[in-house]
C-alpha cells in the first residue's frame, strides 16, 4: 500500500544521467551494480540507457574515472564472496545442529560401556 501524502519524485540532471549511463557501459560492470552504487532503481538506469541509444541523453564528452569502474568491479567481487561465505555459514550451522542432535540419540560406544569381569 502506498504511503499517504504527496509522492516524492527526484529530478536528476542530464549530466548525472549521462555519467550513470557511461558507468554502466564500462566493460565488466553490471547495470545493477551501478544502480545500487548511485542509489537509483535499475529500471531507471535501463530507461536512461535506452534514451541514450535514442539520442535523447547525450553521453559524449562525459568523462568517467577508471578508478570508479575498478571500485564497481571490486564491489561485485565482494558481494559474490559475501554470498558464498553466507552460504558456508548456513551449511556449518546445519551441520552443527545435525551432529548435536545425533549425540543425544546415539547409543553408547563400546569404549564407554562397562565390560563384564570374568
Domain ranges of the chain: 14-93
Tens of pLDDT along the chain (118 residues) come to 566 777 777 788 888 898 889 888 888 788 888 898 888 999 999 999 999 888 888 877 777 767 777 787 788 889 889 999 999 999 999 999 999 888 766 555 555 555 566 6
Q: Do residues 18 and 52 touch, judged by C-beta distance below 8 A?
A: yes
Question: Own/partner pairs for 37-40, CB < 8 Å, 24+ apart?
Answer: 37/71, 37/72, 37/75, 40/12
Amino acid at each position: 500500500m502506498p504511503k499517504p501524502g504527496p509522492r516524492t519524485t527526484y529530478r536528476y540532471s542530464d549530466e548525472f544521467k549521462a555519467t550513470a549511463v557511461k558507468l554502466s557501459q564500462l566493460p565488466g560492470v553490471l547495470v545493477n551494480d551501478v544502480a545500487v552504487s548511485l542509489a537509483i532503481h535499475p529500471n531507471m538506469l535501463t530507461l536512461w540507457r535506452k534514451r541514450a541509444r535514442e539520442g535523447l541523453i547525450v553521453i559524449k564528452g562525459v568523462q568517467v574515472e577508471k578508478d570508479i569502474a575498478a571500485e564497481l568491479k571490486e564491489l561485485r567481487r565482494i558481494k559474490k564472496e559475501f554470498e558464498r561465505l553466507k552460504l558456508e555459514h548456513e551449511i556449518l550451522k546445519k551441520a552443527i545442529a545435525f551432529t548435536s542432535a545425533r549425540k543425544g540419540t546415539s547409543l553408547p560406544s563400546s569404549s564407554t560401556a562397562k565390560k563384564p569381569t570374568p
